[in-house]
Amino acid sequence: MPQYKLTYFNLRGRGELIRLLFAYAGQEYEDFRFEIAEWSEYKEKMPLKQVPVLEVDGVKLTQSHSIARYLARTFKIAGKTDLEEAQADEYVDIIYDLISGMREMYLEQNPEKKKEMGQKFLTEKLAPQLQRIEKRLEANGGEHLVGTGLTWADIAFYGYLDMAGVFCGEAIYENAPLMKALITTVGDNENIKKYVDSRPATPF
């Protein structure tokens, strides 16, 4: 059995999908967290001077998407066919695009301005994208984004929308009832629920 160690900030951010995949699989790993103020202490030890980094039996992997895809394949939730794997990748790429568009909002210190930015992002970016995905979800049967069973794409959207909800509120699901039901299903998974209920409280 491989020995896993994840190194990332004490935040959800780009490390949270990796943690959620470990949780879903019930796989033990070392979740090494450090504060942003400590970054200079660890930066030079990281292969590309960035995190997250996943060590697998001492071999260091970088890039959050690559790490998550590796784990999805390892845990057999990447998709049942090559085409399903590509579809799952497509959905996760959508999330990474959305995350990139939220950077300024994450960094904003003024609570009122942060709230205002959250509503703008919801109206102009997130809600329209979710409505498009809602139609695709419906066309796929309404229960999962890809194929007929859970993939890492479902877990990725659970993690992302859980985090985006901090800034945008429940209005996220106003026109996306199937997505809301999917997120509830993922969140009700016993292993994921256990992890979420016990994880450190962080702002995002």
pLDDT digit string, tens, across residues 126-183: 999 999 999 999 999 999 999 999 999 999 999 999 988 877 777 889 899 999 999 9
Which helix (H) or strand (E) segment holds residue 104: the answer is helix 103-107
Q: Note down pLDDT in tens along the chain; length 204 residues.
A: 799 999 999 999 899 999 999 999 999 999 999 999 999 999 999 999 999 999 999 999 999 999 999 999 999 999 999 999 999 999 999 998 898 877 787 778 888 888 888 888 889 999 999 999 999 999 999 999 999 999 999 999 999 999 888 777 778 898 999 999 999 999 999 999 999 999 998 878
0.85 exceeded by pTM = yes
Strand partners, 30: 5
Helix axes 152-168, 16-25, angle to 10 degrees: 130
Decide: helix, strand or coil at residue 52: coil
Q: Which domains does the chain have, with CATH numbers?
A: 4-76+191-198 (3.40.30.10), 82-188 (1.20.1050.10)
